[in-house]
Amino acid sequence: MSRHRLVVLAGPTAVGKGTVSSYVREHAPEVWLSVSVTTRPPRPGEVDGVHYHFVDPAEFARMQRDGELLESAVVHGRASYGTPRRPVEEALAAGRMALLEIDLQGARQVRDVMPEALFVFLAPPSWEELVRRLVGRGTEGEEEREARLTTARLEMAAQKEFDVTIVNDDVRRAAEELVSLM
Ligand code: 5GP
């Protein structure tokens, strides 16, 4: 199997992309992880410059305008997210393996500009398991629940656009499979 230096990891909401990339961050230091910019506020434990670069909407708009982002998207209709272009180009120029963990809209944009990357879809072990993770303990109303399921169905349908599918049945196993492709 051919190996790839730039890997883009995407998949449906709640599939565990963040957990898999955190595992890679801790256990595969040879892989460079892109740090996205976002307009959402940090969650407890998140470190600026490590998990994200937290910026205000004006700074995000400036970066977009100045062409500093490789891709960008509004996720869940709430906050903007984007991948700074320069660090990705520098990591690749330095001969490093690079991983982008982004949403589906972002993955499609990267495919347009860097088609040589490997596009990996992280899938849930089953549709039922994804529904369980999404709907959780049923704290959302019926409408919110239906909205999430509709989004998840659309996201699952995007699987065929990807080069490889990795099933997130176990975080460690999925992360190791991901690193083995690089
Ligand atoms: P969270 O706010 O939970 O950290 O991330 C929400 C979603 O945003 C996840 O699906 C994550 O993959 C996506 N995301 C994180 N960074 C980026 C980015 O730079 N670009 C895009 N398009 N999506 C991102």
- Does residue 82's CB lie within 6 angstroms of at least one atom of ligand 1? yes
Strand partners, 53: 37
Q: Is residue 85 scored above 60 in pLDDT?
A: yes
Looking at 35-165, list the stretches that DSSP marks H as alpha helix, in order from N- to C-terminal side. Answer: 57-65, 85-93, 104-113, 127-135, 142-157
- Does residue 103's CB lie within 6 angstroms of at least one atom of ligand 1? yes
Nearest ligand 1 atom to the CA of 73 is 22
Q: Is residue 182 scored above 50 in pLDDT?
A: yes
More confident of the two residues 111 and 76: 111
Question: What is the reported pLDDT for 45?
Answer: 93
Residues 13 and 144 sit within 8 Å (Cβ to Cβ)? no
Separation of alpha carbons 100 and 106, rounded Å:
10
Q: Is residue 151 scored above 90 in pLDDT?
A: no
Q: Is residue 2 scored above 80 in pLDDT?
A: no
Instruction: Write the pLDDT tens digit of every residue in 96-106.
Output: 999 999 999 99
Instruction: Write the pLDDT tens digit of every residue in 40-59.
Output: 999 999 999 999 999 999 99
- Unique residue bearing structure tokens 């659309």: 154
Where do the domains of the chain lie? 6-180
Question: What is the reported pLDDT for 11?
Answer: 93
- Unique residue bearing structure tokens 């996201």: 155
Instruction: Write the pLDDT tens digit of every residue in 154-181.
Output: 899 999 999 999 999 999 999 999 999 9
Spell 35-48 as b/e; 16+ CB within 10 A means b. ebbbbeeeeeeeee
The percentage of the chain sitting over the pLDDT mark of 70, rounded to a whole number, equals: 97
- Does residue 73's CB lie within 6 angstroms of at least one atom of ligand 1? yes
CA dihedral 42, 46, 47, 48 (to 10 degrees): -30
Query: Which DSSP symbol is given to 52?
Result: B
Mean predicted confidence (pLDDT) in 60-69:
98
- Does residue 109's CB lie within 6 angstroms of at least one atom of ligand 1? no
Query: Which residues lie below 8 Å from residue 17, measured CB to CB, with a gap of 6+?
Result: 9, 10, 11, 101, 122
The domain at 6-180 falls in which architecture? Answer: 3-Layer(aba) Sandwich (3.40)
- Does residue 155's CB lie within 6 angstroms of at least one atom of ligand 1? no
Question: What is the reported pLDDT for 76?
Answer: 78
For ligand 1, the distance from its centroid to the CA atom of residue 103, given in whole angstroms, is: 5
Taking the model in full, what pTM does it have? Answer: 0.92
More confident of the two residues 15 and 63: 63
Residue 1's pLDDT band (boundaries 50, 70, 90)? Answer: very low
For ligand 1, the distance from its centroid to the CA atom of residue 138, given in whole angstroms, is: 24
- Does residue 9's CB lie within 6 angstroms of at least one atom of ligand 1? no
